[in-house]
Amino acid sequence: MDSAPSLDPGSPRVRFGAEMRRLRLAAQLSQTAVARRLGCTQTQISRLESASRTPSKSDAERLDLLYGTANGISFTGIREHIVAQPGGPTWFWNWAEEIEPRATVIRSWDPLLVPGLLQTEAYARQIFNLEPQTTPEEVEERVEARVRRQRILDRENPPRVVVLFDAGVLRRKVGGAEVMREQFDHLLEAARRPSVSIQIVDPECLPGLAGAFMIAELPDGQPATIHTDSPAKGYVTNDHELMTSIQERYEAIRLWAYPERVSLKMIEEARREWT
């Protein structure tokens, strides 16, 4: 049975869900029927309507196509208010939905974890589960967002993805042994893609201790953009001075990387250890 959102009616996310539900009922459609049209699950529609999931850009665009603009509602416009909320993850949306999908090359460095683009659902869920003050609904929302990001790897012309991560990641327990084995299987499978390159970095690489980052090269002469990470938030910029600094650091880290053939053998050996 449908239930309307019961949160603060002034919230843009609640308004998004309420308008979704109102237009769906006016069109005499079930949540399952809308899910089929949007290419997602009934559960995802339910979470959007109950405001327990933040809509993606594609969610909003597909809803605008489904219901048209004659109804006076722009789901894309409402979503812009959601991600612009004070403290909201505007930086994340900018990167994951505006920069990453347009990139021709994505280079990343991570000293602590398997990079998000190559994480399994179980590995990602374990990370988000341990985030302080995070609800189960928020965990699933973040896992779904991570899976959506990874779809760029399945495109007909995917970006070139060059991944560097610290050797300590191979033995940093995230979840149980089963989660780790599945994650390493996924890495080995991803490395078979012509567009993906994975290299392990020697743990004595001191230039990498400054933190994780990504570099996106964009088409048509657009300036490259970087994303740097921190416990509080990410930072996205194409500032030339900062870009040069990050690129120099990336090259310094790469000098400590094992060849890809050696790196994949290290992943295989680490997988056997997780029994």
**One-letter amino acid of 37:** R
Q: How confident is the model at residue 4 (pLDDT cuts 50, 70, 90)?
A: very low
Please determine, for residue 88, whether its predicted confidence score (pLDDT) is greater than 50: no
Q: Does CATH place domain 12-83 in 3.30.70.20?
A: no
**Proportion of the chain above pLDDT 90, given as a percent:** 52
pTM for this one?
0.70
Q: Percent of the chain beyond pLDDT 70?
A: 89
Give the three-state DSSP class for 185: helix
Angstrom distance (rounded) from CA 275 to CA 89: 38
pLDDT for the residue 10 = 57
pLDDT at 1 over 80: no
Q: Which DSSP helix (H) or strand (E) runs through 148?
A: helix 136-150
**CB 71, CB 20: distance < 8 Å:** no
Residue-level pLDDT at 94: 67
Of the candidates 93, 98, 99, 112, the one whose C-alpha atom is nearest the C-alpha of residue 215 is 99
Top-confidence range, 84-88, 183-187, 205-209: 183-187
- Considering the chain, tell me which residue range(s) the CATH 1.10.260.40 domain(s) occupy: 12-83
Q: What is the pLDDT of residues 216-252, one digit of tens each?
A: 999 888 889 999 877 656 788 888 898 999 999 999 9
Q: State which fold the 90-273 domain adopts.
A: Endonuclease; Chain A (3.30.870)
Model confidence over 149-193: pLDDT tens digits? 898 999 899 999 999 999 999 999 999 999 999 999 999 999 999
* pLDDT score for 120: 97
pLDDT band at 207; cut points 50, 70, 90:
very high
Q: Which pLDDT value is given to residue 232?
A: 59
Residues of the chain with CATH 3.30.870: 90-273
| The predicted structure's pLDDT at residue 185 | 98
Mean predicted confidence (pLDDT) in 193-200: 98
Q: What is the pLDDT of residue 237?
A: 84
Give phi and psi for 162, each to the nearest 5.
Answer: -115, 110
Structure tokens belonging to residue 247: 């690129």
